[in-house]
Structure 1
Amino acid sequence: MWPFYTLSFALLTSLTASAIPPTQPHPQAVFEASASQDIIGIAKEGVGHFSEWSRATKKEFLVDWQASKESEWTIVQGNEGGDLDSMTAALAWAYHLRHSTQNTSSPIKAIALLQTPADALDLRPENKLALDNSKMTSGHEDLLTLDELPEDPETLSRKIRGIVLVDHAKPLRKWRNAKILSIFDHHIDRGAGPEAKPRIFEKTASCTTIVARQMLDELEKLPEEYHMPHELLELILSAIAIDSSGLTNSASTEEDVKTSARVLKRSNWAKRDLEDVMEDLDDRLSDAKKDLDHLGLRDLLRRDWKGDLVDTPSPNTPTVSLGFASVPYSMDAQIVKTEFKELFDWFAIHAAWTAEISVDISISLNKYKTRKNGEKKKIREIVLVVRDDVRIGQAQADSLFRVVYEALENEKSLGLQPWHRAHELGRRQMVWRHESDAGRKVIRPIVEDAVMAWD
């Protein structure tokens, strides 16, 4: 946990908060204050309505599970990458469902589920910083994480009232038995949950924008508005800010701006300028997000991991486990992070991690910047590895590797070039370098289509 505290104290000593009235705390001041919230190794209980609600909801859910009342619960879940957008959207909608129906004849019990294990949450320092700012309990004890579910999702999904997907177009295979009640996503519609309501797919920088807009629209139509804690409002602003680069990047839309302005008016920063607040939040969260040098290779692979089972037409291997990692370091820089600082050690650590989570085929998407002729250039790498010890034998693994290899090579828009050490790679291993803007949203469908057609 040291890196977060180092970051926060660095901000405290290097930046000076603007002089503003105590009733209008500056985002910077709040973020800096979070550095002293807890003592290392000792959990500090969160303060404020949002933390208390989250902790009480988690307890109630577990009590009801013990009493076999799972059918009363709606689980709001984001994607397994667990970024700030996915986490915030889930928390916001779960809070809204509970509070908007509490005085009706059909109150809804809802809880946000973070589809990452608890020990992986701090691999995203920006999440920790934002949660500390929202006065949540240290150690994330207020939040329900995947490893805290008292029952396997395959089983639990049959018992609960249903699921709501946020920042996620379709449920993971382990949740396929659950009824999809609503979907909010800013990616491509994958056809899941055709009867879900609301069912919103819209291009915005942040999925939290879509959820917050719907939340405020419904809130303002209620006979009497429920209490909206400022900690949640500021968490929402944080999620939108980091995904939109403070409302300035090309992905930012009019809806991101309008919704942020509506949220800001209800927050403790209401009298501040929207542009200033969002820029300030983005600066601090982005600085935190980059504070990853302390992470080893295994943690880098799992900090932004997305994977699922994929059906194939093969009668011998009808299901394949496929996973994607996103790593903000070059392959060469990752190798230096291994114990022996050698290529073989990268693949040994990678193999141990993928064996632990039973993955057959994995793709690591690396991105970094290099300087050429005085200008920064964005470089990406694709690392393809197929295993033969989980569900498939060597011959099948060889065949699957060739299929995915050719699918990527044949996508000319990527402009793939073999990595400079590709000649040293082992069996069913390949690393490419490219300079296109294609990230996981582009690469994943190419790989999934190839796997689903493999026979």
Structure 2
Amino acid sequence: MRAFTLLLMIPVTSLLAAAAPPKQNVLQDSAKDNASNTKDRIGVGHFSEWSRATKKEFLIDWQAGREWEWTLVEGNEGGDLDSMTAALAWAYHLEHSTQNSSKPIKAIALLQTPTDALDLRPENKLALDNSKMTSGHEDLLTIDELPEDPETLSRKIRGIVLVDHAIPLRKWSGSKILSIFDHHKDSGAGPDAEPRIFEKTASCTSIVSRQMLDELEELPGEYHMPHELLELMLSAIAIDSKGLTSDATTDADIEVSKRILKRSNWHDKDLMDVMEDLDDRLGDAKKDLDALSVRDLLRRDWKGDLVDTPSPRTPTVSLGFASIPFSLDKQIDKTEFEELFDWFAIHAAWTAEIGVDISVILNKYKVRDQKTGEKTKIRELVLVVRDDVRIDQAQADSLFKVVKEALEASDLPLKLWHRASELAPRQIVWTHESDAGRKIIRPIIEEAVVGWK
């Protein structure tokens, strides 16, 4: 363990129980403040106060019919630390960089994750607590707190900014796309957006932070950058880049991390020490999922949207993906009856609740070879099609067949799961030993759905 240690949370938290006692450092006062706070503490510092005040102002303006003044900065619905941080950072920048101009912008970060699902990512809670935000995430605007349906609200607001997200969800299609920042594939959305940046980086927060600092340094006078936000930005970059050591790490991730560090309370620390420590602590928190139920695991990293089809009877279907870091067998052990039927009953209740026609569960885990001790990465792909949302039984049978055949005809090395014979109609589970995750599998399935008749 390095001599340098960042104290990210109150020391009594279970997430850090095994951590080595921290040495004296610049975060000592922050740690004392956190330790003295109650369970229902109010956030402290400029970043928390700004976030809470912005949320209040947005709701007041909505009540007064002034939605048209607002820009919503939206990440993806998976709600990971990168997506959340990028949205918060850019909303803060939009407001503060224009506050002394002739056209000040009202902007707020919208987390497209329900409030009660935020803590299903323990690394988010850890990072937000370190940033001294109010407990219960009361400082943040989440999708379930919107006072109006997104389809309606999208046509009233000034527009949206997409971060860590290449294309808006269907429910936001009525909004003008003002800017896009993404580190994935350009899907062609928002051709007139400005800035419109697609760049391969480990973290989307790196792209947002660089643009933010570039514009900040060009202002006649810099606005205040709270250290809590700066440290949240470093946290997001660290966990997505494995402490700036992953193969996905780029020069852009490294250079902007240096610039952020210089402005933070950790400015006298070594960059790689800081990023390694952040990655260690956040990574440990991220893996602390044993207490989550099957329903929570399904909700924790869920992404989906409506997909158009050429079928005149069913022009759209709802498609959703969950990513879970446990095998299906281990998830079954988490159910009340520890049986296969119980897992599918929980899955069915969740997908019925959110109105999904096609659900895809992507499990990932490792198996240790008893002889060599080496670990092998195993992935599972669970496909289920319902017949009680937008499509009837005959349509569901047809759609299941089309998607199943598309996956089997792909380059994925799929093998039937060891209990596949026990599955019900329109349920199938495969295993495979490849690096194909959601980014590879989702386009295969979406293309099959789009071609379904």
Whether the aligned pair in 1 keeps the contact of 2:243 and 2:275 (CA below 8 Å) is yes
Structure 1 residues 14, 209: closer, same or farther in 2, change over 3 A?
A: closer
The residue aligned with 1:362 is 359
Aligned letter for 2:22?
A
CA distance in 1, matches of 2:368, 2:293: 25
The residue aligned with 1:438 is 436
CA distance in 1, matches of 2:242, 2:423: 38
Structure 1 residues 250, 334: closer, same or farther in 2, change over 3 A?
A: same
CA distance in 2, matches of 1:162, 1:33: 41
The residue aligned with 1:454 is 452
The residue aligned with 1:405 is 404
The residue aligned with 1:301 is 298
The residue aligned with 2:56 is 59
**CA deviation after TM superposition for structure 1 residue 374, in Å:** 1.1
Whether the aligned pair in 2 keeps the contact of 1:321 and 1:360 (CA below 8 Å) is yes
Q: Deviations over 1:259-292 (max 9, x none)?
A: 0000000000000000000000000000100111
**CA deviation after TM superposition for structure 1 residue 57, in Å:** 0.1
**CA deviation after TM superposition for structure 1 residue 13, in Å:** 6.2
Check if 1:344 corresponds to 2:346.
Answer: no
Aligned letter for 1:8?
T
**CA deviation after TM superposition for structure 1 residue 9, in Å:** 4.7
**Length-normalised TM-score, structure 2:** 0.95
Check if 1:174 corresponds to 2:171.
Answer: yes
Identity of matched residues, %: 75
Aligned letter for 1:437?
D
Check if 1:17 corresponds to 2:22.
Answer: yes
CA distance in 1, matches of 2:237, 2:199: 15
The residue aligned with 1:335 is 332
CA distance in 1, matches of 2:235, 2:177: 27
Q: Deviations over 1:325-373 (max 9, x none)?
A: 0000000000001111000011000000000000000000000011123
3-state SS of paired residue (2:202):
coil
Gaps of 5+ in 1: none
Structure 1 residues 296, 120: closer, same or farther in 2, change over 3 A?
A: same
CA distance in 1, matches of 2:36, 2:138: 15
Structure 1 residues 320, 290: closer, same or farther in 2, change over 3 A?
A: same
CA distance in 2, matches of 1:359, 1:424: 23
Whether the aligned pair in 1 keeps the contact of 2:15 and 2:288 (CA below 8 Å) is no
Within-5 A mapping of 1:83-232? 83-232=80-229
**CA deviation after TM superposition for structure 1 residue 8, in Å:** 2.7
Whether the aligned pair in 1 keeps the contact of 2:413 and 2:433 (CA below 8 Å) is yes
Aligned letter for 2:425?
R
Aligned letter for 1:411?
S
CA distance in 2, matches of 1:247, 1:189: 24
The two structures, once aligned, show a CA RMSD in angstroms of 1.5
CA distance in 2, matches of 1:38, 1:333: 37
CA distance in 2, matches of 1:139, 1:248: 33
3-state SS of paired residue (1:95):
helix
The residue aligned with 2:319 is 322
The residue aligned with 1:388 is 387
Whether the aligned pair in 1 keeps the contact of 2:70 and 2:105 (CA below 8 Å) is yes
Check if 1:374 corresponds to 2:337.
Answer: no
Q: Deviations over 1:221-248 (max 9, x none)?
A: 0000000000000000000000000001
The residue aligned with 2:252 is 255
The residue aligned with 2:13 is 8
CA distance in 2, matches of 1:137, 1:38: 10
Structure 1 residues 35, 447: closer, same or farther in 2, change over 3 A?
A: farther
Structure 1 residues 292, 7: closer, same or farther in 2, change over 3 A?
A: farther
Whether the aligned pair in 2 keeps the contact of 1:38 and 1:138 (CA below 8 Å) is no
Whether the aligned pair in 1 keeps the contact of 2:209 and 2:233 (CA below 8 Å) is yes
The residue aligned with 2:237 is 240
CA distance in 2, matches of 1:212, 1:53: 18
Q: Deviations over 1:166-221 (max 9, x none)?
A: 00000000000000000000000000000000000000000000000000000000
Structure 1 residues 185, 154: closer, same or farther in 2, change over 3 A?
A: same
Count of matched residue positions in the alignment of Structure 1 and Structure 2? 443
CA distance in 2, matches of 1:65, 1:311: 32
Whether the aligned pair in 1 keeps the contact of 2:42 and 2:135 (CA below 8 Å) is yes
The residue aligned with 2:418 is 420
Whether the aligned pair in 2 keeps the contact of 1:7 and 1:288 (CA below 8 Å) is no
3-state SS of paired residue (2:359):
strand
Structure 1 residues 297, 38: closer, same or farther in 2, change over 3 A?
A: farther
Q: Deviations over 1:131-160 (max 9, x none)?
A: 000000000000000000000000000000
